[in-house]
Chain A
Amino acid sequence: MVSETFIKPSAADKRVAKLQELLAQVSGSRGDSRIAPTVAESQSRARAILSELAIPSTKDEEWRFTDLSSLLDINFQLAGPAAVDVFALADSELDETANSRLVFVNGIYVPELSSVAGLPAGVQVGNLSAGNFPEIASYLAQQQGGQEVFTALNTAGLADAAVVWVPANTIIETPIHLVFLTAAGATPVWSQPRALVVAQRGSACTIIEEYAAARGTWCAQEASNCYLTNAVTEIWLAENAQVKHDRIQREATNAFHISKTAVSQAKDSRYTCTAVTSGAKLSRHNLEIFQAGEGTETVLNGLAGISNSQVADAHTAVILNHPHGIVRQLHKCIADGNAHAVFNGKIFVAKAAQLTDASQLNRNLLLSRKAKVDTKPQLEIIADNVKCSHGATVSQLEPQEMFYLQSRGLDPATSRNLLIDGFAGEILAQLSIPALGAKLSRCIACRTDN
């Protein structure tokens, strides 16, 4: 840090100044007084941490491939309440979740677009500041990894959150849709969505978490307003709980999206995440899973479909510290144009995590010469009796496959789309609502259409 400051004082100073400037903006807005006592301690801790930090640079190992310099020169202002109408949801509207949906615009809850009438009694789904969640203090902002700069920034400004609280042994069949939209104006804005999911002992639920621009259509390719989303989602699975988590990031083409998903899994729980990234100019998703009990299972499916000069960075970490843990990870990237995909997948198998069964596979499809992928599987295994495998592949469209399809009468564009769709389909098929998979498949097709 000292030598960096010496060589490039202005760049390092700028990173510190930018973070302080963002922090100053959220320090004024403490949100509803009712949530203040719950998070006061976490907030002051976060603020203290942030006084020591800066916006990361590519010299930071965790940010080696993703350069945030372009953020530094943009004068982001904290987004305020926006005038929203029924059209704000646009393509985020799903028939299946019409009565199990929470909508936030610019990080602010919008009751007019939300409804949880379709959920069973006992389940508490709502926004934090309006709801009654007596036990929340032991969960909110209590996940490990809260010191990380953007997570701390989100906590420091925490004013409201989407909360899903599933009581013990309650099975919710209807997917719960958490929609976080940004209504960007002519000048750049930023917001900090927050979500908390607590699945009590033996319960089961499906969460669809979605990030998009207000009124954003699926295939919006036209230049949009610039904005920044800094999102944090915390998920707690108690013993034997099951959470299926579909995460869709389809922010506008000119947006920055930085996010953290922190998951803690107790004994015998099962967490499945299907994370699909198609949006934002630059995006970073940190997905961190802590297996906090024996016999837990974690399934991670990832897909990035990007083009032009998009950057999509997925950092995942699964930390195993108990026997009989299972990890199944498949992360896929499709990159066209000058796009740059980054995948960093850590799996830590501690000494106590005997009989772990972990597999990780990263497959990349590059559609143009200039598209690029940086992949770094990272397995650290201390336990001695485990089964762990990992691999990464980078390929182009196979000429043999193209010819096979053409020889059956399909033109090159259709053949290409079919192959891209086939590559993406393995992940999209995992989404809990088929219509969502179909929309995303069209979205990726048009994004990679040249």
Chain B
Amino acid sequence: MIIDNSEVILSVRDLTAEIDGNQILKGLTLEIKAGEIHAIMGPNGSGKSTFSKILAGHPAYTVTGGEVIFKGKNLLELEPEERAREGVFLAFQYPVEIPGVSNTDFLRASCNARRKHHGLPELDAFDFEDLIQEKLQIVQMDPSFLSRSVNQGFSGGEKKRNEILQMAILEPKLGILDETDSGLDIDALKIVANGVNQLSNAENAMLVITHYQRLLNYIVPDFIHVMEGGRILTSGTKELALELEARGYDWVKEELAVGV
């Protein structure tokens, strides 16, 4: 929802970044305010995942220019774990499997790291159990997943639900969903989308990266941005997604070329 004069959560200006000497982001500018849902679409390789990982602080990328301000702070100065505790959450396109680390232990450690950062008392195993039972319902996940190793042997859809479960526990200010819908069947898609909608409120913001207009029927964005070649080519409202679905990305480029 667009709220007048709401807090700016994320402000990205002229961001450029590279990996292994290859420039991937080439001047990306974007502003997201509290209460809003933004979607980024764009062809394969346009830099969507790169952008999301840079926001989360992935060490493999080097920011070469521009700025990223998160809730008034220079985000690029913070370590990945500090960003997470401050409220940046990335649901990964490809969540890693971590054999041997129990999902519950991991979730509790993660929850408590954030609570500690905000001066809240840490939750013991019993209190955490109560919290998690409540959060599991948001993604309709079976409690048996808690005792398993993080993502290990989870199906694609189960991994994505586990990501949203983590988001539910960490209650981020900015939730970034990188193709959380890819590979989900329609029932799982509804569950995930429904989870995201429950977590979305006037205090936080969501940035949804997707290839499919279908997701946007369930998570209705306030703004849609088209990314291409490491920058935002154009932005619009949700009708833009339908247009893209029908006419492809080349159409945007042509329109813009005409416009210039």
Contacts and interface: CB of A to CB of B under 8 A. Distances in A.
Contact of A409 (B85, B101, B149): B85
B98 A422 contact: yes
Given A401-B98, A419-B98, A407 B90 contact: yes
Place the interface of chain A in its size category. 20 to 34
A411 interface: yes
A200 B206 CA distance: 66
A418 B105 contact: yes
B84 interface: yes
A403 B101 contact: no
Interface string A402-416: 011111111110110
Contacts of A426: 99-100
Nearest to A426: B100
B31 interface: no
B110 interface: yes
B170 interface: yes
A403 B98 contact: no
A399 interface: yes
Interface residues of B, number: 31
- What secondary structure prevails in chain A residues at the interface with B? helix
Interface in B110-134: 110, 113-114, 117
Given A403-B59, A422-B149, A408 B84 contact: yes
A9 B196 CA distance: 77
A347 to B, nearest CB: 24
B39 interface: no
Contacts of A409: 81, 84-85, 110, 113-114, 117, 170
A425 interface: yes
A406 B98 contact: no
A362 to B, nearest CB: 16
Given A407-B56, A410-B81, A401 B96 contact: yes
A178 B59 CA distance: 49
B79 to A, nearest CB: 7
B126 to A, nearest CB: 18
B75 to A, nearest CB: 13
Contacts of A422: 98-101, 149
A404 B81 contact: no
Nearest to A427: B100
Contact of A408 (B58, B100, B110): B110
Interface of A: 398-401, 403-412, 414-415, 418-419, 421-426
